[in-house]
Amino acid sequence: MKPATSTKKTIKQSDPEGGFKVRSDVPFMVGLAILGGFYVVMILLMVLADLHFTDASSLKETLGRREIQHSIKLSLISCTVSTMLSLWVSVPIGYLMSRFQFRFKAMVDTILDIPIVLPPLVVGLSLLILFNYAPFRWMSPWVVFEVPAVILAQFMVACAFAVRTMRVTFDQIPQRYEQVAMTLGCNRSQAFWKVIFPQARRGLLAAGTLAWARSLGEFGPILIFAGSTSMRTEVLPTSVYLEMQSGNLKGMLAVSIVMIILSAVVLLIARLFGMQRINA
């Protein structure tokens, strides 16, 4: 009886290939926590370093300046407008790329990724050159180095990320739902709005959040295409640049802290509000 018991115990502790089988998930979870925690801690340390280097008086003085107040206002407006435009474009493109097969699809897919892989300065330079040619040339006085240039520069970069997010979202929704809806009398448009779009709300929220955050941090294209004119096209990233150019390190950090706080608050509110709407 004892040898049989011993053999059974040995087999139970071995995997099919004869190796030792670890019963606990603790080492795996600890490894994940260490790797993930390192990145989270580094982000927190960066923020804490900024907070420690500056002081409340510098932050108050910076927020009291008219050009910084204008920069905050323009950043909020331009990021919101560019996000809405990004969602308006990314939903149909994401659905098209997810559901349909057509010639040159791989080429279109590559073109959609160009704003992601290009250096931001190149995006701004390309926009600036584009508006030297017809039919964009006649719009140049009202766009280039004006507020519309800020929105367009943000949109061109943020929309690429929103398109990727919406395509993945539609890829995860089974096509069978549309097919069932169409067999019940819906056309494709009705199946999209009544069946698919409601299921894409979480992805829509993620795309909007990503587009807004990307727009807020956009600097290179705005600097080249819209400039950094104070009280005109100055947004928060260019405010940081202008403060650095003037040698005002504390002012630069104060604006950076404003960006961190503003983005964290807006993104947190958007996510909490979105989760409540989704779970309702």
pLDDT class for 96, splitting at 50, 70, 90? very high
**What is the pLDDT at residue 21?**
57
pLDDT class for 128, splitting at 50, 70, 90? very high
- Each residue of 246-279: pLDDT tens digit? 888 888 888 999 888 888 887 787 777 665 554 5
Taking the C-alpha atoms of residue 85 and residue 63, their distance in angstroms, rounded to an integer, is: 29
Question: At residue 8, does pLDDT exceed 70?
Answer: no
**What is the pLDDT at residue 15?**
53
Report whether 178 contacts 195 (CB < 8 A): yes
Q: Report DSSP letters for the chain, one per residue.
A: -HHHHHHHHHHHTB-TTSPBPP--SHHHHHHHHHHHHHHHHHHHHHHHHHHHHS-HHHHHHHHTSHHHHHHHHHHHHHHHHHHHHHHHHHHHHHHHHHH---TTHHHHHHHHHHHHHS-HHHHHHHHHHHTTSTTTGGGHHHHTTSHHHHHHHHHHHHHHHHHHHHHHHHHTS-THHHHHHHHTT--HHHHIIIIIHHHTHHHHHHHHHHHHHHHHT--HHHHHHT---TTTT--HHHHHHHHHHTT-HHHHHHHHHHHHHHHHHHHHHHHHHHHHHHH-
177: its two tokens? 């739902």
- Each residue of 152-197: pLDDT tens digit? 999 999 999 999 999 999 999 998 988 888 888 888 888 999 989 9
Place of tokens 């040995």: 10
Q: Which domains does the chain have, with CATH numbers?
A: 56-279 (1.10.3720.10)
Length of the chain: 280
**What is the pLDDT at residue 91?**
95
Q: Closest Cα to residue 157, out of 202, 224, 104, 106? A: 224
